[in-house]
Amino acid sequence: MTTASPQCPNACPNCGHRLAAWDKFCAQCGQAAHLHQPSFWEFVHEFINHYVALEGKLWHSLRLLLLRPGQLTLDYLQGRRARHVMPLHLLLSFGLLCLVSIKLRPASPHVEPGSGWANLGILPYAVVLALPVLAGVMQRLYSRRSCRYGEHMVFVVHQQALVYLLVTLGIWIERAGLEWLEPVPLLMIALAPLLALQRVYGGRWWATLLRFLIYQASYLLIGFCFVLMPLAFLPR
């Protein structure tokens, strides 16, 4: 293992692209030009860097998602991307966090498994299948704008990531016995899309309010369809 002076390969080990001595990354595939076998602690460090801290990106994205609805989507669409966690990565991370929180046995004896917030958790779990449909609804709602379908997809993915995050918060608030705090995530789930729509798409407030109501109704409708349809086919 040559950790002291990592050798400089002439070709990228990943794609074979020719590398100059001063290249830090391969120009073709983006892999680091200088590689060495990681030690155990470097491996742990890399894991923590990428999946827990993400070099501050995760906390930055999380703060924007919670405190400035829509800003993350706007940043992405306006090209400020490297500073944030990518939308799908965010969705999967918070989705996993939410799922794990639902599956964990409740710490409090007063909370039945599958009650309250944990029930609500089923809805966003199913809705993830329905996000492309929801993005289609968004395209109808903003049909006069020259937005691509993919841009609406970023919006709904960010909103769903926020729902996962808030449901997770709700679950842990319930388990901690802090019932008085429960309206906070509920209110945020209900109202965040309104603020996000206005921040991302602009326009008149009454028009945004109307679109917001259709968006939330579609979200619930699509969600219930995706929850109820599989149930109808399950053996009793």
Q: Which residues bind Zn ion (CB under 5 A)?
A: 12, 14-15, 17, 26, 28-29
DSSP 155-180: HHHHHHHHHHHHHHHHHHHHHTT-GG
Rounded Cα distance between 30 and 75, Å, is 23
Question: Which CB sits closer to Zn ion, 29 or 213?
Answer: 29
Question: Which CB sits closer to Zn ion, 29 or 210?
Answer: 29
CB 18 to Zn ion: min, Å: 10
Q: Is the dihedral of CA 127, 189, 207, 210 positive or negative?
A: positive
CB 93 to Zn ion: min, Å: 27
DSSP H helices, the chain, are: 40-48, 57-67, 71-77, 87-103, 117-141, 149-175, 183-201, 205-233
The gap from C-alpha 231 to its chain's centroid, in whole angstroms, comes to: 26
CB 21 to Zn ion: min, Å: 16
Question: Which CB sits closer to Zn ion, 15 or 100?
Answer: 15
Whose structure tokens read 């926020």? 162
Question: Which CB sits closer to Zn ion, 27 or 107?
Answer: 27
CB 9 to Zn ion: min, Å: 10
